[in-house]
Amino acid sequence: MASHPTRIPDAVSLPELTVRGMILGALITVVFTASNVYLGLKVGLTFSSSIPAAVISMAVLRALRGGNILENNMVQTQASAAGTLSSIIFVLPGLLMIGHWQGFPFGLTLAICASGGILGVLFTIPLRRAMVVDSELPYPEGVAAAEILRVGSEGDEGTPSSGKNASGNEASGVREIAFGGVVSALFAFATAGLKVLGESITAWIPAGAAVFRLTTGFSLALIGAGYLIGIVSGLAILLGVVLTWGIAVPVLTAVTPNPDGVAMAAFANGLWQHKVRFIGAGVIGVAAVWTLITLAKPMVDGVKTSFAALGKSRGARGKAEAPGRTEQDLSPYWVIGLTLVCVAVWVVTFGVFLADAPLSFGGIATLVVCSVVFAVVFGFLVAAACGYMAGLVGSSASPISGIGIVAVVLVSLLILSVSQASGLLDTGAGSKLAIALALFTTAAVIAIATISNDNLQDLKTGWLVGATPWRQQVALLVGCVVGAAVIPPVLNLLYNAYGFTDALPRPGMDPSQALSAPQAILMTAIAKGIFTHQLDWSMLGIGAVLGLTLIAIDAVLAKRGGVARVPVIAVGIGIYLPPTIGSVLVIGALLGWIAQRVLKARAKAKGEDYGPYAEASERRGVLLASGLIVGESLVGVAMAMVVGFTGSDAPLALVGSSFASTSEWLALIVFAGICVVIVHRVLATAR
DSSP 8-class letter at 500: B
Angle at CA of residue 355, ends 517 and 448, nearest 5°: 45
Highest mean pLDDT out of 294-308, 357-371, 519-533, 625-639: 357-371
Among 147-151, 190-194, 429-433, whose mean pLDDT is lowest? Answer: 147-151
Q: Please give the helix or strand (H or E) that residue 403 lies within, else none.
A: helix 400-422
| Phi and psi at residue 98, to the nearest 5° | -90, 0
CA–CA separation, 578 and 399 (whole Å): 10
Strand partners, 213: 204
- Residue 513 is predicted with a pLDDT of 64
What is the per-residue pLDDT across 484-506, written as a single tens digit (0 to 9) for each? 888 888 888 878 777 787 778 87
> Across residues 640-656, what is the average pLDDT?
75
Asked whether the CA dihedral 111, 113, 115, 116 is positive or negative, the reply is: positive
458 in a structural domain:
yes
Distance CA 215, CA 201 (A): 6
Prediction pTM value: 0.74
Residue 553 pLDDT greater than 90, yes or no: yes
Please, which residues have CB within 8 angstroms of residue 153's CB and are 6 or more apart in sequence?
6, 58, 67, 68, 69, 72, 159
Q: What is the pLDDT of residue 322?
A: 59
pLDDT category of residue 109 using cuts at 50, 70 and 90: very high
Q: Give the dihedral of Cα atoms 155, 161, 164, 165; nearest 10 deg.
A: -60
State the DSSP code for 370. Answer: H
Picking from 103, 52, 11, 41, the residue whose alpha carbon sits closest to that of residue 395 is 52
* 260: helix, strand or coil: coil
Note whether 253 and 211 are within 8 A (CB).
yes
pLDDT at 396: 57
The pLDDT confidence band at residue 159, using thresholds 50, 70 and 90, is low
Average confidence score pLDDT of the chain: 81
The average pLDDT across 353-372 equals 87
Of the candidate ranges 182-196, 479-493, 546-560, the one whose mean pLDDT is the lowest: 479-493
Q: Which of 185-199, 292-306, 626-640, 643-657 has the lowest mean pLDDT?
A: 292-306
Q: Please tell me the distance from the alpha carbon of residue 257 to that of residue 264, in angstroms, as a whole number.
A: 12
Cα 612 vs. chain centroid, distance in angstroms? 34
Residue 313 is predicted with a pLDDT of 43
Task: Decide if pLDDT at 640 tops 60.
Answer: yes
pLDDT per residue as tens digits for the range 438-464: 999 999 998 888 888 778 888 888 888
Q: Give φ, ψ of 293 to 5 degrees.
A: -65, -45
Whether pLDDT at 170 is above 50: no
For helices 231-242 and 568-576, angle between their N-to-C axes, nearest 10 degrees = 50
Three-state secondary structure call for residue 156: coil
Domain that holds residue 177: 13-159+170-191+295-312+330-563+609-654
pLDDT band at 134; cut points 50, 70, 90: confident
Question: Residue 479 domain-assigned?
Answer: yes
Q: Which of 459, 412, 491 is closest to 87 using CA atoms?
A: 491
Split at pLDDT 50, 70, 90, the class of 149 is confident
* 499 within a domain of the structure (yes/no): yes
Domain membership of residue 235 (yes or no) is no
466 class by beta-carbon count within 10 Å (0-12 exposed, 13-18 middle, 19+ buried): buried
Q: What is the pLDDT of residue 67?
A: 74
pLDDT digits (tens, 9 = 90+) for 230-289: 898 899 999 999 999 999 999 999 999 887 778 888 899 889 988 898 898 788 778 867
Q: Identify whether 579 is part of a domain.
A: no
Domain contains 402: yes
What percent helix, strand, coil does the chain show, rounded to 5?
75, 5, 20
The total number of structural domains in the chain stands at: 1
Name the 3-class secondary structure at 256.
Answer: coil
- pLDDT value, residue 250: 95
Q: Residue 380 and residue 123: Cα distance in Å, rounded?
A: 6
CA distance 265 to 272: 11
Is pLDDT at 137 greater than 60 in this prediction?
A: yes
Domain assignment of residue 578, yes or no: no
Task: Say if 231 falls within a structural domain.
Answer: no
**Between 526 and 422, where is the model more confident?**
526
pLDDT number for residue 301: 58
Q: Has residue 167 got a pLDDT over 60? A: no
Distance in angstroms (rounded) separating the CA atoms of residues 79 and 145: 13
Task: Find, among 119, 110, 15, the residue nearest to 450 by Cα.
Answer: 119
